[in-house]
Amino acid sequence: MKKITLISFLLYSTFSYSTEKIFQSADSLYQLHEFEMAISEYNKIIDGNLESPELYYNLGVCYYQIKEYKKSKLNFQKSLILNPNLNLSLEGIQQINSKKNHKDLPQIFYKKWFDKIINLFTLKMWILASFTLILSLTTVIYIKYILKIEVKKVVITSLFLTNLLIYIISIYKIENDKKIFESPISTSQDPIRQN
């Protein structure tokens, strides 16, 4: 009997340790904005027949981030079933309901164009293009003023304006990337209200 108790205790402690590792892994994936992978990690915990309101809340927020509102709402509801006093889950459901009932206003055409131009390349590509244009602009200025070769003002102006546009786009993408949730989810935080 002692052996069975000892073996079951060791198995339980090993299993709970691995579950804690999976939970930490899911939280770190969330920090890296890998919401789909975090969802699969949270589901591994659920598949191991472990549940908690915090787990379902975290899963609900992950689904919310990838805009799967039905699954998000379902997980918030499961969280409320396990802990009816968890107000964050109730607020998450209210946030989803308001999102589903709220239709986005159509964007102005130049805003759509600007967004399409921004999304043509990644942030690294825009930075690389900016450095390339800076290098070409300094080369043109060097040729004009140091070597005293005639260069049309149009070339200099167009290079300057293109460089300025790429700089503005890079700054815009950096600012938009900062708006994404940065910290892992816990019951003491409400990342949905931060939107």
What CATH number is attached to the domain comprising 27?
A: 1.25.40.10
Judge whether 147 lies within some domain: yes
89 with 164, same domain?
no
How many helices (DSSP H) and strands (DSSP E) are in the chain?
8, 0
- The set of residues, in sequence order, having a beta carbon less than 8 Å from that of 89 and lying 6+ positions away, is 53, 56, 57, 60, 76, 77, 79, 80, 83
The CA distance from 66 to 61, in Å, is 9
Count of the separate structural domains present in the chain: 2
Judge whether 87 lies within some domain: yes
Please answer whether residues 123 and 170 qualify as being in contact, where contact means their C-beta atoms are separated by less than 8 angstroms: yes
Judge whether 77 lies within some domain: yes
The CA distance from 129 to 110, in Å, is 22
pLDDT tens over the chain, length 195 residues: 555 544 444 444 444 546 678 778 877 887 788 888 888 888 888 887 788 888 888 889 889 888 888 999 999 999 889 888 888 888 888 888 887 766 666 778 888 888 888 888 787 887 888 888 888 888 877 777 776 666 677 677 777 788 788 778 777 777 765 554 444 555 444 445 444
9 with 45, same domain?
yes
Start-end of H helices in 32-122: 35-47, 53-65, 69-82, 87-101, 109-118
Please answer whether residues 165 and 137 qualify as being in contact, where contact means their C-beta atoms are separated by less than 8 angstroms: no
17 with 94, same domain?
yes
152 with 84, same domain?
no
pTM: 0.47
* pLDDT value at residue 181: 45
Q: Which domain holds residue 113?
A: 109-178
Please answer whether residues 188 and 87 qualify as being in contact, where contact means their C-beta atoms are separated by less than 8 angstroms: no
* pLDDT value at residue 8: 46
* pLDDT value at residue 74: 92
* pLDDT value at residue 183: 46
135 with 52, same domain?
no
Domain end, chosen from 101, 132, 153, is at 101
Q: Tens of pLDDT along 139-193? A: 877 777 776 666 677 677 777 788 788 778 777 777 765 554 444 555 444 445 4
* pLDDT value at residue 114: 83
